[in-house]
Chain A
Amino acid sequence: MTVTTAAESATAERTPPRRKLRRFSGRDVLVLVLMVGLPLVLDVLLIWLPVVLSTIFSFTGWNGIGSIFDIEFIGGKNYHNIATLDPYFWPAVEHNLIWIGVFVVLATPFGILLAVMLDRNIKGTRFYQSAFFMPVVLSLALIGFMWQLIYAPDDGFLNNVLGLTKPGEAINWLGNPSINLYAILVAASWRQAGYIMILYLAGLKSFDPALREAAALDGAGEIATFRYVVFPAMKPINIVILVVTLIESLRAFDIAYITNGGRNGLELLSTLITTNIGSEASRIGYGSALAVILLVISLVPICTYLFQTFRREAR
């Protein structure tokens, strides 16, 4: 899931209906306590308690076996080992950065470009939107599964289109560690661009046409109008779109995992966590330290998003 109320921040006008708690019967109080309490307890127990426990485990050498009370604290050793000894950590960081780069520089701007084009009274806009948006309803796991047809070395669509079918010259798109990350990024961007397109399009629809017309009457071309009028006016949405893109990039997991378990060129911070805590390894302390690193990085876009979304209400 992702946060998708991009357009919301640009246009929302709020009149929060706030009232004082008053004159509740005992039953009313009980109902309210249960309505808030039950979801809150479950949210804390299943989401926030694991976050706290991950942080605690990350300073231990726990291997998942034995009582939780016998855990030995080893300070920052896990973090030290990750940074200095783990042969996969820095490649994973690099892969995550490449992921962010491709999404921020290519997939997301392409989605914005499609939205801007479709916002211009296009005939058959429904067809175009449906085509671009269709991949968004598919899971990235399914996309990874389906794109094997494109990337298979011998019988794959891509090698056949490129004419690379003779033995020895076929490219192993998903098996070659120097290109497989880019291969799955193309598949992931296929989905991301459509997603961004629909979010941005909603924002553009709520954009005041008078502003654009004024710019056009002043002689601004279409590109200039977008660059100097529309884009700056869409700043709140732009921030949300950027943050959503960052969060999506850091959460990337499914497509790498289904392709090869997140190994051999497809290491990401998220797959390193599962590799370390998975059944074969069970290095809970070490895996938790990786989880905390991913958590801390993710908190930057998450907090930006929350700040952007809730600051108006906090006033």
Chain B
Amino acid sequence: MTTGAEVLGPSRELGVRRGAGPRTKRVALYVFLTVTALLWLVPILYALYTALRPISDTNQHGYFSLAHQLSLTNFETAWSGGDLPHFFLNTIIITVPAMFVALLFASFVAFAVTRYSWRFNISLLILFTAGNLLPQQVLIAPLFHIYNSIPLPYFLSSSGRLYDSYWGVIIINAIFQMGFCTFILSNYMKTIPNDLTEAALVDGASVWKQYWMIILPLCRPALAALATLEFTWIYNDFFWALFLMSSGDKRPITSALQNLQGSMFTNNNLIAAASLLVAVPTLVVFFVLQRQFVGGLTLGASKN
């Protein structure tokens, strides 16, 4: 699993280049890339700039002007006024368990289909992978009614049902993402030599032991990459919580944006500050775990 490093590190091989004016071409390439990259950063940098300007400053000078004053006031106002800590907590309650369940179930299935051969192996993988590719909206009407018809005790869900509960949103996120993880993990597990589990079998190791003590530890790089990706995707999910929860105050931050815009964030400065605060967790994951993230996206590329 070295794709992340390979993708992000400098290219190793020196290509053979010919043609007229290679130097001019080279300069043009750098100019194009630099201009495009700066253009790419404009939305984020402009948000940062707007967020740092107090409302009095933009009221007086307009948004498209040089700042006379910079402060963190907007971040404080957005943080407490929008009750962001509350929504971030909801996000943690949903994202972390969903991520673990998705990885755990995916590793179960991947282990079973790669270590033991039976007739429906491929059908099972196709079923799982395909489920993950469907548009979410195709499922929502029946899912809404299924969720409404499953009762939960009140100490588990204040709605008394799976609908409008954290459990419901956790499980649908987990199961929806599980398909992709199963696909990736099964590809990864195929590269683990069979001799390992066979030797364990000779020693009398049980199926569970082969999974837990031998295969799973060897999958650590793939699991780390997938965890990074899944955290981001489940954090970014907008749809499930929006349509499977009726109480706005239970929703995670991404889905809560729908209600917050308009009601809480009424000026550009606050919208900018809130945008950046919501972006922080995934941006941190991106910058700190960039290799795992990119490695996860391109997992499988370095298998040969």
Contact = CB atoms under 8 A, between A and B. Distances in A.
Contacts of A117: 29, 32-33
A244 B139 CA distance: 20
A50 B139 contact: yes
A31 interface: yes
Contacts of B132: 1, 3
A198 B37 contact: no
Interface stretch (B67-75, B92-100, B140-148): B140-148
Nearest to B258: A258
A135 B236 CA distance: 12
B142 A273 contact: no
Contacts of A57: 141-142
Interface residues of B, number: 128
A129 B8 contact: yes
Given A142-B254, A190-B40, A294-B137, 4 more contacts: A28-B206, A32-B112, A130-B287, A157-B42
B146 A49 contact: yes
A21 B175 contact: no
B37 A298 contact: no
Contacts of A13: 303-304
A142 to B, nearest CB: 6
Interface of B: 3, 6-11, 13-19, 29-30, 32-34, 36-38, 40-44, 46-47, 50, 58, 62-64, 105-106, 108-109, 111-118, 122, 124-146, 171-172, 175-180, 182-184, 187, 190, 192-194, 198, 206-208, 211, 232-233, 235-239, 243, 254-255, 257-258, 261, 268, 271-272, 274-275, 278-279, 282-283, 285-287, 290, 293-294, 296-304
B92 to A, nearest CB: 16
Interface of A: 1-8, 10-21, 24-25, 27-28, 31-32, 35-36, 38-40, 42-43, 45-51, 53-54, 57, 64, 68, 114, 117-123, 125-135, 137-142, 145-150, 152, 155-157, 160-161, 165, 187, 190, 194, 198-199, 201-203, 205-206, 209, 212-213, 216-217, 219, 221-222, 247, 250-251, 253-254, 257-258, 269-271, 273-274, 277, 284, 287-288, 291-292, 294-295, 298, 302, 305-306, 309-310, 313-314
B187 A5 contact: yes
A205 B145 contact: no
Contacts of B194: 17, 19
Contact of A141 (B139, B190, B198, B238): B238
A145 B153 CA distance: 36
Contact of A145 (B40, B243, B257, B285): B257
B298 A4 contact: yes
A149 B294 contact: no
B302 A206 contact: yes
Contact of B108 (A3, A38, A120, A156): A38
Contacts of B10: 121-123, 125-126
Given A17-B194, A35-B211, A121 B261 contact: no
Given A28-B207, A202-B3, A254 B8 contact: no
A161 B116 CA distance: 62
Contacts of A219: 18
A19 B117 contact: yes
B257 A258 contact: yes
Contact of B19 (A47, A131, A222): A222
Contacts of B32: 117
Contacts of A48: 127, 131
A302 B134 contact: yes
Contacts of B114: 16-17
Given A32-B112, A43-B179, A134-B283, A21 B118 contact: yes
Nearest to A298: B135
Given A13-B303, A209-B13, A50 B143 contact: yes
Given A121-B10, A149-B50, A212-B15, A302 B133 contact: yes
B134 to A, nearest CB: 7
A198 B11 contact: no
Contact of A291 (B105, B130, B138, B207): B138
Contacts of A295: 134-135, 138
A139 B238 contact: yes
A251 B298 contact: no
Given A35-B112, A128-B37, A12 B143 contact: no
A192 B237 CA distance: 17
A157 to B, nearest CB: 5
A19 B115 contact: yes
A105 to B, nearest CB: 18
B232 to A, nearest CB: 6
14 contacts: A1-B132, A8-B303, A32-B207, A38-B105, A40-B109, A42-B105, A50-B141, A54-B139, A54-B141, A114-B36, A134-B286, A142-B279, A277-B144, A310-B125
B115 A36 contact: no
Contact of A155 (B8, B62, B302): B62
Contacts of A128: 33-34, 37
Nearest to A131: B37
Nearest to B19: A221
Contacts of B135: 250-251, 253, 270, 294-295, 298
B302 A36 contact: no
Given A8-B299, A137-B285, A205 B105 contact: no
Contacts of A140: 236, 238
